[in-house]
């Protein structure tokens, strides 16, 4: 498996929103933030298609850590 993590130092994602933010049109805050709420839902769907996984964790230094886990394919595998 290959794991990729992206950390930020923003407000973080409260536990009650950690699953919801990966659903279509679900957003934690709508005021003053542009976007449709589709980005993370698309990421989750792409990961499912590739037999991978995506989730968010708390960043101990503040903010969030977005994680992606993908299966590693051997030479010649599709």
Task: Please report, in tens digits, the pLDDT of each residue of the chain (78 residues total).
Answer: 999 999 999 888 889 989 998 988 766 665 666 777 788 999 999 999 999 999 999 999 899 999 999 998 755 666
Q: Is residue 64 part of a domain?
A: yes
**CA–CA separation, 25 and 13 (whole Å):** 16
Extract the tokens encoding 5. 């993590």
Report the CATH number at residue 65: 3.30.565.10
Q: Is residue 57 part of a domain?
A: yes
Q: Is residue 47 part of a domain?
A: yes
**For residue 38, with 0-12 CB atoms within 10 Å meaning exposed, 13-18 middle and 19 or more buried, which class applies?**
middle
CB 11 within 8 A of CB 71: no
How many domains would you assign to the chain? 1
Q: Is residue 78 part of a domain?
A: no
What pLDDT is recorded for position 34? 72
Q: Is residue 75 part of a domain?
A: no
Helix (H) or strand (E) holding 54: strand 53-58
**CA–CA separation, 30 and 36 (whole Å):** 9
Task: Quote the domain boundaries for residue 15.
Answer: 2-70
């Amino acid at each position: 498996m290959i794991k990729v993590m992206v950390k930020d130092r923003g407000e973080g994602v409260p536990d009650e929103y950690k699953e919801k933010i990966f659903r279509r049109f679900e957003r934690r805050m709508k005021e003053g933030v542009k976007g449709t709420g589709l980005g993370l839902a698309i990421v989750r769907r792409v990961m499912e298609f590739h037999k991978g996984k995506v989730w968010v964790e708390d960043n101990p230094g503040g903010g969030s850590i977005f994680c992606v886990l993908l299966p590693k394919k051997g030479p010649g595998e599709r």
